[in-house]
Amino acid sequence: MDRSLRVGCIILAIFSLLFCTLTLMPLPVRAQTVIATIPIGGVPYSVAISPNGLYVYVTNIQDDTVSVISTATNTVTSTITGFNDLTGVAVTPNGNFVYVTNGGNGTVSVISTSTNTVAATIPIALPGALAVTPNGKYAYVLSSNNLVSVISTATNNVTAALNLDTNSENPNAIAVTPDSAYVYVVDANGGISEISTATNNVTATIPLVIPAGSSLGSSRADSLAISTNGAYVYVTYPGQNSISVISTATNMVVTNITVGNSPYDLAVSPNGEYVYVTTGNDMSVSVINTTTNTVTATVPVGSTICGGMAVTPNDMYVYVLCAVPDSYYGISDGSVSVINTNAPAPSPTPTATPVPSPTPTAALSPTPIIATPTATSTPTTTGTPIVAQAPATPVFPTLIILPLFAVIMLLLTVFIRKRISKKHKT
């Protein structure tokens, strides 16, 4: 074979090997790290992020304030005062209002996000955690007397109230399914109640299962969150250092995930691929892959206790409430740690201009029903569980190498054909 032909074949083989290697090799995963720490005051308790991702709202239980953080600058742009023993916080889907609970005077305050002032006050005894339905029609508020109150966001009046199961005690966490059809409530005993928003009745209770060798105290549940497809409920059990995964189709535990020491709060990424869990005693955040239900990363947040958390709508950042150990409530000197998730498809950087807040339009409300729950009721299936899709394999190498490889192949083919043709003529 002619020397030039041999060289051409060798070059072709090398580029073929390079193409296969780079195409099949995924890009390295960048580490998730804390990129900012924002001081906010005393004892941060709960956190929520506006739907447009521009602002973070934090309730501070020690100084009874709400801190408003701009995600564009990661600084506190406003501090709202006039509350009493603040606990829960939730933002309406249109971003126009923030609901916060005042445990000290038995009220729920409605904050207008356009002015950062209180626009309404709703009396509710012993309020705690709360959640707004994704359709924006209702806010469900938990009370320590086992009562769940339903607020119409159109009128800011309580339209219904229901009692939880008699075995429930101090309900402390609440979440709503993405279709606004069901509300899940977890209490201090670790029991979970499912509430239908159509009837405001408890349609199912998930019994507490105490593992062998554990005590009732170790089975206390602190928080819960629902997957973005509505198929699963995630519940933290600090005493067991684990997360229970419950199928909403069967209302049964499908698996338990071991995490760090004393898991407190958790949040599901909007793309459904990950669950982030704060582990208080480890002063870190555990990252759970929802496809494999395993911890894939642990992000340290420094020498502070981790509490509540929330993920931005573009999946890019996790805001974690932190505090230094002290005598008052066990923590003080509050701050917010910002974790960069290094999501593969970031959204454009938002501007700091708030969205105007029009007056909410009245929504049709179902007839309020106050009823005692029936534990034997058959739960309505919310759909076949769908496991979240795994993160897509990076395609960046293929997009670059494939055109280059095609051009080189074409040039080599032309070159070899000319050499063969010339050789035959001679």
Q: What is the pLDDT of residue 237?
A: 85
What is the edge-to-edge ordering of all strands in the sheet holding 157-163?
127-132, 138-143, 147-152, 157-163
Distance CA 344, CA 409 (A): 31
* Pair of tokens at residue 25: 């090799």
Element (H, E) at 3: helix 3-24
Query: Could you tell me where the beta strands, DSSP code E, fall in 62-181?
Result: 65-70, 75-80, 86-91, 97-102, 107-112, 117-123, 127-132, 138-143, 147-152, 157-163, 171-176
Q: What is the pLDDT of residue 239?
A: 81
Exposure string for 375-397, b = 16+ CB within 10 A, e = fewer: eeeebeebeebeebeeeeeeeeb
**CA nearest 47: which of 105, 81, 86, 73?**
86
Q: What is the pLDDT of residue 230?
A: 97
Q: How many CB atoms lie within 10 A of CB 173?
A: 24
Q: What is the pLDDT of residue 176?
A: 98
Determine the length of the chain.
Answer: 426
Which residues fall within 8 angstroms of residue 24, CB to CB, at 6 or more apart? none
CA 218, chain centre distance (Å): 24
Q: What is the pLDDT of residue 405?
A: 61
Report long-range pairs for 396-399 (Cβ below 8 Å, ≥24 apart): 396/27, 397/22, 397/23, 397/25, 397/27, 398/22, 398/23
Which residues fall within 8 angstroms of residue 138, CB to CB, at 6 or more apart? 132, 150, 151, 152, 153, 159, 197, 365
Per-residue confidence in pLDDT tens, the chain, 426 aa:
556 556 656 666 676 666 555 554 544 444 689 999 999 877 899 999 999 999 999 999 888 999 999 999 999 999 999 999 999 999 999 999 999 999 999 999 999 999 999 999 999 999 999 999 999 999 999 998 889 999 999 999 999 999 987 666 788 899 999 999 999 999 877 789 999 999 999 999 887 655 545 544 456 778 999 999 999 999 998 888 889 999 999 999 899 999 988 898 999 999 999 999 998 778 899 999 999 999 999 999 876 778 899 999 999 999 999 886 654 445 556 899 999 998 655 444 444 334 343 344 333 333 333 333 333 333 333 332 323 323 333 334 444 555 666 666 666 666 666 666 665 655
Q: Does residue 325 sit in helix, strand or coil? A: strand
Q: What is the pLDDT of residue 87?
A: 92
**CA nearest 377: which of 194, 221, 249?**
194
Which residues fall within 8 angstroms of residue 26, CB to CB, at 6 or more apart? 393, 394
C-alpha dihedral (362, 366, 367, 372), degrees to nearest 10: -130
* Global pTM value: 0.75
Residue at 189: amino acid letter: N
HSE, side-chain direction, 13 A CA sphere, residue 414: 5
Q: What is the pLDDT of residue 209?
A: 57
Judge contact between 336 and 342, C-beta under 8 A: no
HSE, side-chain direction, 13 A CA sphere, residue 268: 28
Distance CA 249, CA 251 (A): 6
Q: What is the pLDDT of residue 218?
A: 54
**CA nearest 171: which of 158, 183, 182, 153?**
183
Residue at 65: amino acid letter: T
* Pair of tokens at residue 16: 């073929």
Q: What is the pLDDT of residue 107?
A: 98
Residue at 192: amino acid letter: I
**Helix, strand, coil in percent for the chain, rounding step 5:** 15, 40, 45
